[in-house]
Amino acid sequence: HFKPGAMVTDVCGIKGAILEGAKVLPSSVSFVGGHPMAGTQYSGYANSKADMFEGAPMVVVPRERDDILLLDRVKKLLPPAGFSHVTVTTAEHHDEMIAYTSQMCHVISNAYVKSPRAQMHKGYSAGSYMDLTRVAWLNEHMWTDLFLENRDFLLRELDEMIGHLQEYKTALEQGNGDRLCTLLAEGRICKEKVDAE
């Protein structure tokens, strides 16, 4: 039902499965995967906002990375949405990065609020608690689908995180202040490097 020559995109949080599914589109339609890096912890049409994409990055995943004419067309169509910039990548790299920058954050936040202390946090919490728990409020059906579609990359990130957490746990169990201080310094330095970029 798409008009010949139409540009079709999506806003899904994973790209490998989407690009695979887009193969059913007729050749008369140009498809490019899209992922606006914007949103809130709330879902559904009632929580939509006209300015949600204003100032947000947009990730674009064309079927062929070097399709210059298609990318030029995409970049001309996006400005009215208000995106701050456009990143062009492959489906595999997108899904690998999203496992780290988005999906892991949701897993960690969701697991963190399962502590019984979460029910007693008022009066004891501030910005760090709010920052860490915001995305625990999620649509479990949507995120289940996203996690399963991207499970290989997400499992790799989980294994890495569990390894790091084990290092902190071991240092605490051993009462090893020097090791704990080193681990904390390593994390601070990593954050400084990220922010400097």
Instruction: Please tell me the predicted confidence (pLDDT) of residue 148.
Output: 97
User: Does residue 23 sit in helix, strand or coil?
Assistant: helix
Other Cβ atoms less than 10 A from the Cβ of 118: the count is: 13
Query: CB-side exposure of 75: number of CA atoms within 13 Å?
Result: 10
Instruction: Please tell me the predicted confidence (pLDDT) of residue 158.
Output: 98
State pTM to two decimals: 0.89
Instruction: Please tell me the predicted confidence (pLDDT) of residue 3.
Output: 92
- Tokens, residue 118: 């979460």
Instruction: Please tell me the predicted confidence (pLDDT) of residue 39.
Output: 81
- Contact criterion met (CB below 8 Å) for 143 and 102: no
Residue by residue, pLDDT tens for the chain (197 residues) are 899 999 999 999 999 999 999 999 998 999 999 999 998 778 888 888 889 999 999 999 998 877 888 888 998 899 999 999 999 999 999 999 999 999 999 999 999 999 999 998 999 999 999 999 999 999 999 999 999 999 999 999 999 999 999 999 999 999 999 999 999 999 999 999 999 98
Instruction: Please tell me the predicted confidence (pLDDT) of residue 178.
Output: 98
β-strands 7-8, 57-62 pairing: unpaired
